[in-house]
Amino acid sequence: MTAVAARLGAADGDGSPPEPRTRGAPSGSRLVLVVGNPNVGKTTLFNRLAGQHARIGNYPGITVERRVGTVKPFEAPPFELVDVPGTYSLAARSAEEQLAISAILGLGDNPRPALCLVVVDAGQLARNLYLCLQLIELGVPVVVAVNMIDEVADNPPNVKALAEWLGVPCVATNARKGLGLVALTRTLAEALDAPPIGRAQVPYPAGLLEDARRIGAEVPPAWLGGGPTSVDATGATGAAQTQALALWALSSVDVDDELENIPRGLRERCLAVRAERASDPTRDLDLEIIGSRYATIDAHLPAVYLRFVTNPPKPKLSGQVDRVLLHPVLGFLTFLLVMLVVFQSLFSWSDPLIHFIESAFAWLATAIRTHAPAGAVRDLVTEGVIGGVGNVVVFLPQILMLFFFIGILEDSGYMARVAYLMDRVMKALGLHGRAFVPMLSGFACAVPAILATRTMERQRDRLLTMLVIPLMTCSARLPVYGLIIAALFSPHQRVGWIPVQSGLMVAMYLFSLLTTLLATAILGRTVVRARRMPLLIELPPYRLPSLGGTVRVMLERGLDFLKGAGTMILGCTMVLWLLLSYPKVGVGAGVGASTPGSPPPVRTPTAETAIEHSFGGRLGKAIEPAIAPLGFDWKLGVGIIGAFAAREVFVSTMGLVYGLGDLDEEAKPLRQRLREERRPDGRSVYTPLVGLSLMVFFALSCQCMSTLAVVRRETRTLRWPLFMFAYMTTLAYLASLVLYQVGHHLGL
């Protein structure tokens, strides 16, 4: 970079920069966006600035949340602060980064911001300033917060020298301890009155500038008027902004990009230029754009540091820990130990809270049954409304704990190491290493696991991971497996030295894991096919997690789950209750005694015949011809219908079918009834082969309304939850069909 730096230095003339340029903010606009790379303390700084005035809102036109706050400077009007998702550049691909780009540039329904607060890591200026340089090129008013200044105390950057080069205010901060916030708030208030326009310039190759000129003709005039990308107050023609926007579009648009709000003419012109340059082996558009910007940064950074080091050594402690955590063997063992602790919390530590919630809803239902008059309204409230809400809220302890641990692992810097470690395995399936942690947490529950995919950067990878997570054996399947294995397989039966019952349980987990990996490979090459992207991930230094910020995000995610998925699940559960409760058939004691000459005894319908004549029972009878090839009768059909609300509901539904009341997997009468159920010819209805077929069906089918509801909310469309339900149900049916028919013909 020495020769490049020399050329750039000569181009700067005598080195005396012009006076900073400013322009008036749009009328009535006091919107400030907090932008920056991931892991720079952006959200921590936002929380410090907004304080108690922070709240959750939605991006315009979509249901994705954003953090919004109001800052009230001393002796200055308040302004609105918005924390947008982290992004490394304005040419990013993920959905979250696209939101950041649209918010920064005021695309779509987003209002144009009056100012952008760019947060940079004081120890990673070379990489962080790339985004800042892009914003300055586009004419966006910028204030720079040089954060984490305490981590480079031995050689801190000179913020005055940095401000002199960029031409925008720069303030040193330590968001964790709240240092520098008063000066930053005052600087933001002053910048809103006179937004600073940076003067840093990038010398691009002549051929690239010619490409930008051709593309510039398609840049929408609206992008140049009345906002950050408009003609500035110095009277410039706007050619610089047009060139910057053309280069942004050229670096962003690709054949498989997911960017929105790009006009058709501009997109086609960019693709045409890319196609022309692809045939020229001497040209690489992306390398020319990115290389020119980094060359400019490298040329100016030595003046910012007292002692400039090209490749600063990794902190000693981080290097020593990484030798263990990134080791091909020790790293995996450490990760398994960490995941064991996480799963222990999800399975065991949350049990007291889960039981408390279940008991609270049961007490509420009992109280209403005791004091409210009998009737359909009382049944609807107790069984439909309260039961439906209880099925949703019972997930809350697991969701809170999962997001708490994810937040701790991310803040500490460990989650980035896990993604790097698992990338060696996951890249063979067409996914990044980031997908492994949400997939693994699917063993606890698919709902929080799908929510955990928000940590992934690429929308395509998030979608693929969401589509396969429900194949992992979640805790809701355990009651079903426990009932079937205990009822149809003897506890004394062994295969060699392995007990059949415990062996089957382990086998079901292994089966789900292998099926998930296979489905990932197939779907990634067919339905959600996309160009394979390398994993580019930052390994930040290890830090103490911010407990307050982690708890705040955990509570927000929990509330978001209750408000979003909960309402849909409640509605579906009420529909299910209606199907299994109507039409009403009286339930009596059975058959009356008969005497000679008296009329035949009156048979009073039992709970079993009542459920048989309900709409749900009739539906079970209707689907029996379709499920009979799997070894299932109409009663199992009703159980499968009931399990659509939640898989564990299968057990209580089967109890209702047999007139035994609301039973769980530990209820011996239900196990005994399943074991003793006979056909007219005396053969067992439920054989071990039927049990295996049923477990395989539950392992592969998507019998969970909450999962579908969360996928619907995360993807903002019905297309993908319907596809998930269709492909998993088809897969479950075919696998059970093959298993049962082959086993039946073999005489099992």
Q: How far apart are the C-alpha atoms of 469 and 445, rounded to whole Å? A: 9
Q: What is the pLDDT of residue 632?
A: 93
Q: Can you give 363-405 as a three-state secondary structure string?
A: HHHHHHHHHCCCCHHHHHHHHHHHHHHHHHHCCHHHHHHHHHH
Whether pTM > 0.75 for this model: the answer is no
β-pair partners for 678: 684
Within 10 A of 475 (CB to CB), how many other CB atoms are there? 18
Q: Which of 15, 222, 249, 216 is nearest to 112 (CA)?
A: 222
Q: What is the pLDDT of residue 569?
A: 58
DSSP structure class, residue 629: G
Q: Which amino acid is at 601?
A: P
Within 10 A of 1 (CB to CB), how many other CB atoms are there? 13
Q: What is the pLDDT of residue 395?
A: 64
Q: Per-domain residue ranges for the chain?
A: 1-312, 313-349+395-463, 569-592+602-745
Q: What token pair was written down for 491?
A: 């506890």
The CATH number that domain 1-312 falls under is: 3.40.50.300
Q: What is the pLDDT of residue 736?
A: 96
Is residue 583 reached through a cis peptide bond, with omega within 30 degrees of 0 on the bond before it? yes
Q: How far apart are the C-alpha atoms of 644 and 638, rounded to whole Å? A: 10
Q: What is the pLDDT of residue 47?
A: 86
Q: In angstroms, how far apart are the furthest CA atoms of the chain?
A: 124
**Running along the chain, 748 residues long, what does each successive block of 10 average in pLDDT?**
30 33 45 89 87 53 63 87 85 69 80 92 89 90 93 87 94 90 93 88 90 88 56 49 86 66 84 84 83 91 75 63 84 79 67 80 84 81 68 71 79 78 74 74 79 73 90 81 80 73 79 88 83 60 75 76 61 69 61 48 53 81 92 88 75 64 49 79 85 94 85 88 94 96 88
C-alpha to C-alpha distances, 429 to 61, 170, 422, 534, nearest whole angstrom: 34, 44, 11, 13
Q: How far apart are the C-alpha atoms of 516 and 54, rounded to whole Å? A: 40
Q: Which of 211, 237, 120 is nearest to 168 (CA)?
A: 120
Q: How far apart are the C-alpha atoms of 443 and 508, rounded to whole Å? A: 12
Residue 695: exposure state from Cβ atoms within 10 A (0-12, 13-18, ≥19): buried
Decide the pairing of beta strands 31-36 and 115-121.
parallel
Q: Which of 77, 343, 353, 20 is nearest to 192 (CA)?
A: 77
Q: What is the pLDDT of residue 52?
A: 58
